[in-house]
Structure 1
Amino acid sequence: MVECKNIDEVRANIDIIDREIVKLLSERSKYVRHAAKFKKNTDDVKSPKRVEEVIAKVRNLALEYGSNPEIVEQIYRTMIVCFIDYEMKEHHK
């Protein structure tokens, strides 16, 4: 983390991070679309066991990086719901 001297510097750094987050989300969505090809039914797409594995993994990563695991979990649960919806549409194609 860069030590910022004012709010404009804070915001500029957040903007840089947001750009990277969106880039990574885009990359992740391509893998989600690709995964839909390998799944046989909607239960495979929803995969609650896998969801909980991902949540446990990211909570541990949050702790490792000094972040709040509850916030990371909430973000990931929301993201996963969105990606499952996207994958369901791809799966039905």
Structure 2
Amino acid sequence: MTAAKLPAECQTKDDVRAEIDRIDQALLNLFAERHGYVTRMAEIKTDPHEAYDPTRIEAIIAKVRSRSLDLDLDEDQAELMWRTLINWNVNYEKGIIAARKRAK
């Protein structure tokens, strides 16, 4: 495995694509790790309505927007990605909790 290159060190489109592929794999690994915690949260919660917590969601979004600015990222794009992730997680949690309640 070759060492990561900084963007300015990439000389070709293939160099850039290789770095994006490396980062995509790291993101997938992190999403998989995060998913384990989301699954555990669904196991802990007892009611499907607990999956949607607007106060918590807005606190997360505020934190993401602030951290994005600190990283010189577009905060609107970061918010869009996190809202998508959160919405998927809420629906996933609701499904797990509801299925567990039906099985009782």
TM > 0.5 fold call:
yes
Structure 2 residue aligned with 1:51 = 57
Verify: 1:76 aligned to 2:94, yes or no: no
5+ unaligned residues in a row in structure 1: which ranges? none
| Corresponding residue to 1:10 among 9, 13, 16 | 16
Report the Cα distance in structure 2 between the residues aligned to 1:58 and 1:35, rounded to whole angstroms.
Answer: 20
Q: 54-63 or 83-92, which moves further after superposition?
A: 83-92
Aligned length: 93
TM-score (structure 2 length as normaliser): 0.83
**Unaligned segments of structure 2, at least 5 residues:** none
Report the residue type matching 2:16 in the other structure. V
Task: List structure 1 runs of 4+ shifted beyond 3 angstroms.
Answer: none
1:36 to partner: Cα distance: 1.3
Who is 1:30 aligned against?
36
- Percentage of identical aligned residues: 33
The corresponding residue for 2:95 is: 89
Find the aligned partners of 1:85 and 1:60 in 2 and give their Cα distance.
26
User: TM-score if structure 1 supplies the norm length?
Assistant: 0.92
- Partners of 1:85 and 1:53 lie apart in 2 by 19
Instruction: Report the structure number with the largest CA radius of gyration.
Output: 2
Offset of 1:85 from its aligned partner?
1.2
- Alignment partner, residue 67 of structure 2: 61
Superposition RMSD in Å: 1.2
Residue 39 of structure 1: how far off its partner (Å) = 1.9
CA positional deviation for 1:24: 0.6
